[in-house]
C-alpha cells in the first residue's frame, strides 16, 4: 500500500511538472545571473523578456495604473503609447506599450490572480515585430488566471 501511494505521488508530481507551459519564449536563452529573464538576438537586434509574480491587493485596473507609473518612473523620457486588453485573454489581462529614449519599444503585460500580480516585460528594437514566441509565453503566464 505504501509503495502504491509513493508511486501515485511520484506520478502526480511528474504530471504537474510536465503539464505547465514554460514561462520562457521558445528558443530564447536565459540571461546569466537573472531569474525569470531571457534574451534573443544580439547587438542592435537584441530583445529581452522577463516576468515577475508578487503579492498585490488590487484589481486589474489598479495594476494597469501601477504598471504605467512604474514604467514612466523607471525609464525617464519614455512615451506612453497606451494600454489595451491582451487579445488572447481579454478582460483578464492587459498590455501597456511605451517608446523609450534609446529607440526601443517596451511592452508590459499584466494580470491579477488570487492576490498576486503577474507582470511580463518585453523590450525590442522600435519597429521590430512582436516575436510570436513572446506572445505565446505571455499567454502562458497571463491567461492562466
Per-residue pLDDT of 115-140, as tens digits, reads: 999 999 999 999 999 999 999 999 99
Please report the pLDDT score of residue 29 as a whole number: 96
What mean pLDDT is reported for the chain? Answer: 86
* Grid cell at residue 43: 547587438
Going by pLDDT thresholds of 50, 70 and 90, the confidence category of residue 2 is very low
**For the chain, what are the domain ranges?**
24-142
Q: What number does CATH give the domain 24-142?
A: 3.40.1000.10
CA 22, distance to chain mean position in Å, is: 11
State the pTM of this model.
0.83
Q: Is 82 helix (H, G, I), strand (E, B) or coil?
A: strand
H or E element: which one contains 110?
Answer: strand 104-113
Closest CA to 128 of 45, 29, 71: 45
CA 16 → CA 12, 21, 32, 46, 136, distances in Å?
6, 10, 27, 33, 20
Amino acid at each position: 500500500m505504501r509503495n502504491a501511494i509513493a508511486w501515485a505521488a511520484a506520478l502526480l508530481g511528474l504530471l504537474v511538472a510536465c503539464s505547465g507551459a514554460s514561462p520562457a519564449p521558445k528558443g530564447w536563452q536565459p540571461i546569466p545571473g537573472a531569474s525569470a529573464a531571457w534574451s534573443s538576438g544580439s547587438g542592435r537586434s537584441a530583445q529581452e523578456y522577463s516576468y515577475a509574480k508578487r503579492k498585490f491587493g488590487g484589481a486589474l485596473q489598479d495594476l494597469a495604473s501601477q504598471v504605467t507609473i512604474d514604467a514612466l518612473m523607471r525609464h525617464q523620457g519614455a512615451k506612453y503609447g497606451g494600454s489595451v486588453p491582451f487579445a488572447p485573454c481579454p478582460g483578464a489581462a492587459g498590455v501597456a506599450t511605451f517608446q523609450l529614449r534609446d529607440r526601443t519599444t517596451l511592452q508590459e503585460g499584466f494580470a491579477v490572480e488570487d492576490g498576486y500580480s503577474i507582470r511580463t516585460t518585453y523590450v525590442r528594437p522600435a519597429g521590430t515585430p512582436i516575436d510570436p514566441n513572446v506572445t505565446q509565453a505571455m499567454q502562458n503566464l497571463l491567461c492562466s488566471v
